[in-house]
């Protein structure tokens, strides 16, 4: 299974994201904010996550590939998937659902 969703050309809104979560049996999302120009090196989480970027940007490195996500973009990480992340000059705010 591919870890990262492709960029949605028209952007996804909150209602569409919540509907997608419900269809995948994910819980209601929480808002996460990260500081401008911050970063986290390689790490994992004890859960899978689907997230919708609502402000700013985030770069994710998964399997050696870097991808930038901006407002309207959705990303996904699998349970215990190794990744690194960095945040744009305005930080990032995203809605995240963990499973």
Mean confidence (pLDDT) of the chain: 91
Read off the pTM.
Answer: 0.87
As a whole number, mean pLDDT of residues 8-27 equals 86
Mapping DSSP to helix (H, G, I), strand (E, B) and coil, where does residue 19 land? Answer: helix
Q: What is the pLDDT of residue 10?
A: 57
As a whole number, mean pLDDT of residues 54-74 equals 96
Q: Which residues is 97 bridged to in the sheet?
A: 50
Q: How many CB atoms lie within 10 A of CB 92?
A: 25
| Whole-angstrom distance, CA of residue 4 vs CA of residue 59 | 11
- Find the helix or strand (DSSP H, E) in which 33 lies: strand 30-34
Is a pLDDT exceeding 90 seen at residue 72? yes
Q: Mind listing the domains of the chain with CATH numbers?
A: 14-98 (2.60.120.10)
Mapping DSSP to helix (H, G, I), strand (E, B) and coil, where does residue 17 land? Answer: helix
Q: What is the pLDDT of residue 4?
A: 47
* pLDDT, greater one: 89 or 5: 89
């Amino acid at each position: 299974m591919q870890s990262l969703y492709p960029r949605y050309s028209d952007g996804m809104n909150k209602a569409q994201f919540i509907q997608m979560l419900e269809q995948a049996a994910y819980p209601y999302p929480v808002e996460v904010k990260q500081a401008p120009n911050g970063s986290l090196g390689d790490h994992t989480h004890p859960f899978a996550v689907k997230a919708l970027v609502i402000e700013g940007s985030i770069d994710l490195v998964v399997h050696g590939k870097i991808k930038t996500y901006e407002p309207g973009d959705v990303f996904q990480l699998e349970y215990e998937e190794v990744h690194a992340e960095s945040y744009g000059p305005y930080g990032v705010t995203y809605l995240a659902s963990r499973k």
